[in-house]
Structure 1
Amino acid sequence: MTRSQICLFAFQICDERGISHCFSNNKASKDWLYGFMRRNNDIVENLSYGRLMRFNKEIVGAHFELLGKTLDKMNLHNQPPLIYNVDDTGLQSAYNCSQLVLVEKGFKRVHAATHGEKR
C-alpha cells in the first residue's frame, strides 16, 4: 500500500466504526502516518527498482566470487581488521521518488518499486 492509501484506509476504518478522529480531507494526516510507522516498526518503506534489479542470485554470487578472488589476490583472508564493510545508507544517487510503498519487514516481494533510490 502507498502512504496515501494507508491514510485513506485509516480514515475509512474510523468512519465505518464510529471512532472519533481529527482527520481532514477524508484521510489521515502525514503526522498520523509517521506515528503509525513508529508504533509499528515491522513496516518499512519499499525497495528501489535499481536495488531490486541488482539483488538476484547471479549478481550476488558474482559479487562474492569477485570478493573471494580479491581476498586471495591481496592475501587478506587472515587479516580481518583490514576488511571494512560500507553501508550506503544516507547516500542518494537519485532524488526523484514519486511514490513510496510500505511493506512488512522481511517481506520477500514488493509489488511496486520506485525508480529512484531515496531510502
Structure 2
Amino acid sequence: MDVRDAVEADAGRLSELTDAPSDVMRNLVHDRTVRVAERDDDIVGFVSYDARAKTIHVTQLEGEPAVCDRLLEEPVRFARGEGMSVELLVPEPDEVVQSAAADAGFTRVGSGPLFEGTPTVKYRLDG
C-alpha cells in the first residue's frame, strides 16, 4: 500500500468512499491536508486534517482497518514533528476508526458534538 498527497482528480473516488458529493471532496482536497492510500492503483482510503493553534484536527478517516491504521500515522507523524497534539472526532457507530485511534495510542476524552444527528466520540493524542 502506498500513501500520497491527494489531488483534485481523486475527488470522484473520495466521493465514492464517503457518499459525499464530488464537489465537496474537491473542496476538501483544496482546503485540508489530504493523504490517500492506494493499492494496485486504486484509492482504498484517505485521511484529511488541518492544523490550528497547537493541535492537528483529523477531519475524516476512511478505509478498512489496516488502511485506517496506516493513514492515521500521517497526522500523528506531522504532529510529533511539530510538537503538537492530535484530535479526532469519531461517529459513535464507527468501530473501524475507533479501533484505529486506540491502536495509535489516542485516549478517549469524552463526547464530541453531534454530526448530522449522529453522536461523536472525541479522541486525543498529546504531543
Give the TM-score normalised by structure 1.
0.22
Higher strand share goes to which structure?
2
Q: Which has the higher contact order (CA 8 A, sep 6+)?
A: 1
Q: Bigger radius of gyration, 1 or 2?
A: 1
